[in-house]
Amino acid sequence: MPEMFAEEAARARRALVREIEAYGVLRDPAWRDAFGRVPRHLFVPYYYVPGAGGYERLWSGDPDPARRTRWLRGAYRDTALATRVRDGALVSSASQPSLMAQMLEALDVRDGQGVLEIGAGTGYHAALLCHRLGDRHVTTVDLDEEIAESARAHLAAAGHRPAVLTGDGARGCPEHAPYDRVVATCAVPSVPYSWLDQCRPDALVLTPLSTGLLLLRVRDPEHAEGRFLPTSAYFVALRGGSARTPRLRTTGVPRRVYEDEGFRFLVSLAAGGLDTREALSLWQRERRPERERFGVTVSGGRQWAWLDDPEGPYAWPLPDL
């Protein structure tokens, strides 16, 4: 990349860090340094933006300097980027950096800890972990060999060589276990038991579930519990495993309620135990409960979501994965 582009990329990273800090995250100087130094543009040499009649591809090798500049600046916007589209459907994306920052700070890593990442994506998230912990402490797995190989190449271009493996993320990665932290960058309908099996006692598991981010503390392979973070989160679903997220139904629900993010989160989370009208009744009775009032318990071969109290009156089974 010409020197002028390298300088512009550095300025763009500094601007991105300031933008993320404005959200109240990046309180940890180690993560601030990671976002300020890891070159995101190396992980998105091309991406897609909505255009007339479909997607428009922006890429680093465009012969038009103006379009290259547009690509570079877009790579450092605080937004998710579509990186793989097949038959008009989104297959893989680079997550919004500020959301990544919230997840990484919630993960509460310590020097020397081992992290398993489910969903390699572009490799950028793994690169941030590598910058913080060192390459040998990071393992990332993806079901798609093409995605895994691409992430491996991006990481190498940025000077990192963690373990990048191809496999079913629902099964974890026993070869490099045990782990102190597990973080998923794809949504699951329930928590895979294999992740808990591969954790050390007191490990943390952070995963998108429903439209939220669930943070579990692991007691042992059969017991874990935790609550959702306050933020909403929308991720591509985990491929592999067998469970499917239930379809949401709108019958009998006012449009303004159904379009509320918090209500949709409740309907999706409680689909195994409530129909939509029952969810509406609960939503109104509990005065629009916020995400952090909800949690999940895994115990004795079963798992359930709950409101306020794991043993309280509002609890719903989650599907087996």
Beta bridge partners of 255: none
Phi, psi of 154 (to 5 degrees): -60, -45
Instruction: Give the whole-angstrom CA distance, residue 185 versus residue 123.
Output: 11
Using CA atoms of 257, 261, 267, 270 in order, give the dihedral in degrees to the nearest 10. Answer: -140
E strand segments, the chain? 46-51, 54-59, 81-86, 89-94, 115-118, 138-142, 163-166, 179-184, 199-209, 212-220, 223-232, 294-299, 302-307, 315-317
Among the listed residues 60, 92, 242, 299, the single catalytic one is 92
Q: Cis before residue 310, ω within 30 degrees of 0? A: no
Per DSSP, the three-state class of 137 is helix
Q: Name 46's Cβ contacts closer than 8 Å, sequence gap at least 6.
A: 57, 58, 59, 60, 71, 83
Give yes or no: 92 in active site. Answer: yes
Instruction: Give the whole-angstrom CA distance, residue 124 versus residue 80.
Output: 12
Any idea which residues carry the catalytic annotation?
92
